[in-house]
Each structure stands twice: as structure tokens, then as C-alpha cells.
Structure 1
Amino acid sequence: MTSRAWIKFFITTLLVGGVATGVIGFVVRWDEFSHLFTNFDALEILSVLFWLFGVGLIFSIISQMGFFAYLTVHRFGLGIFKSHQLWNAVQIVLVLFVLFDLVYFRYKAFADAGDSILPYLGLAGFVLIAGVVIAALKVSTTNKHAFVPALFFMVVVTTIEWVPVLRVNEESWLWLMVLPLIICNAYQLLVLPKYNAESARQRERLEAKKSSV
């Protein structure tokens, strides 16, 4: 990717994260912010929106760090296992392992005696369903071999990025972070080919200019 395309990719992903968190923040923390709309305090609404937008920028940066780390890990994995099939099998195992951890260890750490495990299963199930949907969209825009890597990224990498809030286990923050992360991760995964194509066109134009001199 050229530096110009990367900067555009970076900025648009930042905006996606900021806007998504601004909207989602009011929804998931409605009990906390609803009085601002009841009494319609415009200044306070804007200040909260600005704060949520800033938090979203942080989430977006975390998402982008995870995405570029995964691209490195993916190439590293292909280099080690020498086969897409074997590397895909390893990724599937890791997806299952992370989902198990997301349920079992959170339940052991935070559940009180007699608490149901269903909310913990539901959270992991939501991440899995989101991952499957985004992976299916990725396949529809590329090829069938993209499904497992996309699912791995959407489940495993999203969960790793989510760890700081998972350790706190505050419900509103769980959703406030994971939803923008999923949106940012999905955006990067789905639009990357567009920016790669744009980079290729920029290189072609540069080469054409050089050859014409």
C-alpha cells in the first residue's frame, strides 16, 4: 500500500470508529444520557458526543494496530505451515479456543454462585455470529479461501483487542467497545482490496510519469 493510500485508509477508519462510538455510546448508555435529551441540554449533549467520538478514535487505533498485526501474523503463519489448508486448520482451532476462553474463564472469574452461564455464552455467540457474517461478506467480494482468515481476524483479534474491558467486566463498556471494534475491523477487512487497487493505480501513474521523462 502506498503512503497516500495508507493515510486515507487510516483517516477513514478513524472516522468510522469515532462516529460509530458516538452513536453506539448514546444507545448502550441511554440510562445515563437520556436526561440530556429529556431536558435537551444541547451543550452537554455535544460535550458527551465529543467525548464518545474521542473514545472511538482510541478504539479505532486499537483496531488498526490489531489489523496490521494480523496481516503480519497471517504471512508468518503461511510461512511456517507452508499450506493454506494447514494454516486454516490452525486458525479454526484458535477460534474455538478463544471462544471457549471467552465463556469459561469469564464465567469462572465474574459469575456468582448460581448465576447462569447463558449471558456469557450469548456474548461469545454474538462475536461468532458477527465474525461469520463479515467473513461471508469477505468471501462474496474476494474468494472462498478468505473465509477462515476473515473469521479468525473477526473473532480472535477482536477478542484480543477487547481484553482491557473484558477484564473490567462492566456491561455498558463491554458493548461500547466491542461494537465499534467489530465495525472498524469489518471496515478494514472489507475495504482493504479497494485501497490495494488504488495503490496499484498510483504506482502505475508514477511509473508512467517516470517513463515519459
Structure 2
Amino acid sequence: MTSRKWVQFFMKTLVIGAIITLIIGLAFDVNEYALFIKRGEYIKVALGLFGLLLKGLLYSVYSQMGFFAYLTIHRFGLNFFKSIRLWNIVQSVFIIFALGDLIYLRYIDVAHGKGSILSYLIPSFALLVVGVVVASYKAKATNKDAFVPALFFMTVITIVEWIPALRINQQLEMFYMVTTLLVCNSYQLLTLHKTLKS
């Protein structure tokens, strides 16, 4: 990839992250922004929108760091195991453990092992569904061996990128971040091969 292509790729992902977070923020706080506008408190509106844009840019940077880290990990895994099939088995094991840990560790840490575990299943299940859909598109666009690496990236790497919001444990912040990460990760994964060919 040339430096020009990389800069374009980076900037497009930044813009996508900012726009997604801005849309989600406006959707959740539309009444609050409407009230500010009605009162003529335009500075609060501007500061709120600016804050959302900054969050989106930050989440996008997390996404891009995770993506390029994964490209390095993937290359290392291929070189170490000498077989795409064996490396895919290893990645599949990591996917199972990561999704399981997202359920169990959060249940223990947040709910202290009390109450229903059902609400802690939803994030893992949602990540898995999105991951399978995106990985299926990636496999169709490139080759069938790309499915497991794509699923690994969309689940395991997204969970790692999501850790700052998981630690805070504020539902809205977690939703902002994971949605932006998933969109940015999907964009990068599904367009990288096109960017390299162009």
C-alpha cells in the first residue's frame, strides 16, 4: 500500500467514525438538543456536537490501531503455524474464549455473579452475529479461508478495542463505542483488498 492510499484509507475511516458517533449521539439526545435550541443555548449544542465528533475520531483511531495490529498478528500466525488451516483453528479457539469471557467476566465483575446472566449474553451474541455477516461478505469477496480471520478480527479484536468503555460500564458509552468500532472495523475489513488492488 502506498502512503497516499494509506492516508486516504485512514482519513475515510476517521470520517466514518466521527459521523457514526454523531448520528448515534443525536439520535439518543435529540430532545436535549431540541431543548437547547429552543432556549437559544447554541453554545451547548455546539459543544455537545463537538464532543461527539471527538469521541468518534477517538473510537476510529482505536479501530485503526486494532486493525493494523491484527494484520501484524495474522502475518505472524501464518508464519508461525505454517498452515492457514491450523492458524484458523487457533483463531477459532480464541473467538470462543473471548466471547465467553465477555459474558462471564463482565457478569462476575459487574453483577458479582448475582441475578440473570441473560443481559450479559446479548453483547457477545450481537458481536458474533455482526462478525459472521461481515466475515461472510469478506469470504465471498476474497476467498473462503478469509472467513475465520475476518470473524476473529470482528469479535476478538473488537472486544480488545472496546475495553475502555467496558471498564467504565456506562451502557450508553458502551453502545456508542462498540457501534462505531463495528462500523469502522467492517469498513476497513471489507475495503482493504479493494484499496490494495486500486
TM-based fold match above 0.5: yes
Distance in 2 separating the partners of 1:39 and 1:24: 18
Residues 154-204 of structure 1 show CA distances to partners (whole Å, capped at 9, x for unaligned) of 000000000111112111111010000000000000110121012xxxxxx
Other structure's SS at 2:37 match? coil
Is 1:74 matched with 2:68?
Answer: no
Equivalent residue, structure 1, for 2:37: 40
State the identity %: 48
1:1-213 residue pairs with structure 2 within 5 A?
1-27=1-27, 29-30=28-29, 34-38=31-35, 40-41=37-38, 43=42, 44-111=44-111, 114-198=114-198
Distance in 1 separating the partners of 2:89 and 2:144: 15
Gaps of 5+ in 2: none
8 Å contact from structure 2 (residues 36, 45) kept in 1:
no
Other structure's SS at 1:63 match? helix
Residues 44-102 of structure 1 show CA distances to partners (whole Å, capped at 9, x for unaligned) of 33331221011100110110010000000000000110000000000000000000100
Code of the residue aligned with 2:93 in structure 1: it is V
Other structure's SS at 1:115 match? coil
Larger Rg: 1
My pick for the range that moved more, 138-147 or 38-47, is 38-47
Other structure's SS at 1:40 match? helix
Alpha-carbon shift at residue 26 of structure 1 (Å): 2.5
Alpha-carbon shift at residue 151 of structure 1 (Å): 0.1
Distance in 1 separating the partners of 2:113 and 2:100: 20
Distance in 1 separating the partners of 2:159 and 2:36: 38
Code of the residue aligned with 1:115 in structure 2: it is G
Q: How high is the TM-score relative to the length of structure 2?
A: 0.93
Other structure's SS at 2:184 match? helix
Code of the residue aligned with 2:33 in structure 1: it is L
8 Å contact from structure 2 (residues 107, 113) kept in 1:
no
Alpha-carbon shift at residue 106 of structure 1 (Å): 0.3
My pick for the range that moved more, 37-46 or 62-71, is 37-46
Code of the residue aligned with 1:103 in structure 2: it is I
Code of the residue aligned with 1:93 in structure 2: it is V
Gaps of 5+ in 1: 199-213
Q: How high is the TM-score relative to the length of structure 1?
A: 0.87
The total of aligned residue pairs comes to: 195
Distance in 2 separating the partners of 1:177 and 1:59: 6
Code of the residue aligned with 2:24 in structure 1: it is I
Distance in 1 separating the partners of 2:15 and 2:85: 36
